[in-house]
Amino acid sequence: MLALVIAALVQSAAPPQADPEDKAVLAVAQAFFDGMEAGSTQAMRATVLPNAQFMGVRKQPDGTYKIGRVAFEDSFGKRADPGVKEWMWSPVIIRRGGLATLTAPYEVSRDGKTLHCGIDVFTLAKQDGAWKIASISWTAEPDACPELRKL
């Protein structure tokens, strides 16, 4: 009998509410993606800290990895590329004080055609009450989309 009561309570319990700080971290990453899709350097710049750093990791045919690092202002901050859409799913957020990381699989496309998938890792810091992107790192894996879409 006790098991039935517990089962009924578990089934009727509402799912936990998303933490407002986690929602804010996700919103900053989404705002960056939205600015990227719109080709708006101004919208992307509003989401990042000064001197934000970006790093891409791509596996080469010989099995080695090519690592590219660049500051926001030397890449996205200089040019807009409308039509590039990026989205993520199954995000994992870890926060402690004014530091947060957001890790998630993602897919990027241009004009509806998939370019590649990978894993994004955002590092954010809270400045003046708002979360800002300090860095974004990602893998670029053209053949990994079917595997990553299952996550």
Instruction: Name the pTM for this structure.
Output: 0.86
User: Percent of the chain beyond pLDDT 90?
Assistant: 80
Structural domains present in the chain = 20-149 (3.10.450.50)
**CA angle in degrees (0–180, nearest 5) for 7-12-19:** 115
Model confidence at 15, in pLDDT bands (50, 70, 90)? low
pLDDT of 77-124, one tens digit each? 777 678 899 999 999 999 999 999 999 999 999 989 999 999 999 999
Evaluate if residue 62 carries a pLDDT over 80: yes
d(Cα 12, Cα 53) in Å, to the nearest integer? 45
Residue type, 41: T
Q: What is the pLDDT of residue 9?
A: 42
d(Cα 117, Cα 35) in Å, to the nearest integer? 19
Place of tokens 């957001």: 102
CA distances from 144 to 48, 52, 100 (A): 28, 27, 26
**Of 56, 58, 37, nearest in space to 111 by CA:** 37
Q: What is the pLDDT of residue 75?
A: 84
